[in-house]
Amino acid sequence: MKRVRVLIADDHALVRSALRSLLEAQPEIEVVGEAEDGAAALERCRRLAPDVVIMDLTMPGRGGINATEDLRRELPGTKVVVLTMHDDEAYLRLARLAGAAGFVLKKSLATELIRAIHAVAGGKSHFPAADAAPPLRNRGGLLDRITEREREVLALIALGHTTAEIGVKLRISDKTVESHRAHIAGKLGLRTRAELVRFALEQGLLKA
């Protein structure tokens, strides 16, 4: 039986070590590499061509959402299972939008991650039942409070881009990006990234 080749992407060395120990105890799984952020994950996937990447969402630099989008474009044969502590439904939907094939919470049992790896390696998907929840509530009136440029900034923040990356994409200074971020928070009353992600999804600002 062909073993599933897995790469682990997480910014915490202890988490990577624990995951490696767990997965290497499975005779049908081979851990071929590790990465500490999204950029490193993409580089190592290009070189190692794993079947599955275990991807943390929140890593410094290029995060898990951006890396998942990159992998979907460049290496569609490599499937991503997001492994995260974020249990907000918005993150689940954002992961699917980015192209993840599976989503597992870090508080889940180890067997859940093993099942997810085998499912996506076999061409299936693995998402929690929460994905069947009713559509996110639409708060259309709030969108009119922010400008078109603020909508662009909001969408990029929700997708996990840093201030510097947003500045480069929109050709504006870091200071201007931070100013837009403050205006968005003030106008919409959204402070955390989870709230921004949820709102951006509700309003259709994030496109597959």
N-term to C-term CA, the chain? 35
Is 180 in contact with 149 (CB distance < 8 Å)?
yes
In order of start, what are the domains of the chain with their CATH numbers?
4-132 (3.40.50.2300), 140-202 (1.10.10.10)
Residues of the chain with pLDDT under 70: 1, 130-140, 207-208
User: What pLDDT score does 59 carry?
Assistant: 86
Is 138 in contact with 177 (CB distance < 8 Å)?
no
Tokens of residue 2, six digits: 């062909």
Q: Which residues pair with 105 in a beta bridge?
A: 84
User: What pLDDT score does 132 carry?
Assistant: 44
CA proximity to 143, closest of 192, 188, 95, 83: 188
DSSP-derived letter for residue 55 is E
Whole-number Å distance between alpha carbons of 158 and 153: 9
Whole-number Å distance between alpha carbons of 83 and 178: 29
Whole-number Å distance between alpha carbons of 193 and 195: 5
- Surface-to-core class of residue 52, CB atoms within 10 Å of its CB (0-12 exposed, 13-18 middle, 19+ buried): buried
Q: Tokens 């093993």: give the residue.
A: 114
Sign of the torsion angle spanned by Cα atoms 116, 4, 11, 63: negative
- pTM of whole model > 0.75? no
Is 92 in contact with 128 (CB distance < 8 Å)?
yes
User: What pLDDT score does 115 carry?
Assistant: 95
Q: Give tens-digit pLDDT for 1-55.
A: 689 999 999 999 999 999 999 999 999 999 999 999 999 999 999 999 999 999 9
User: What pLDDT score does 1 carry?
Assistant: 66
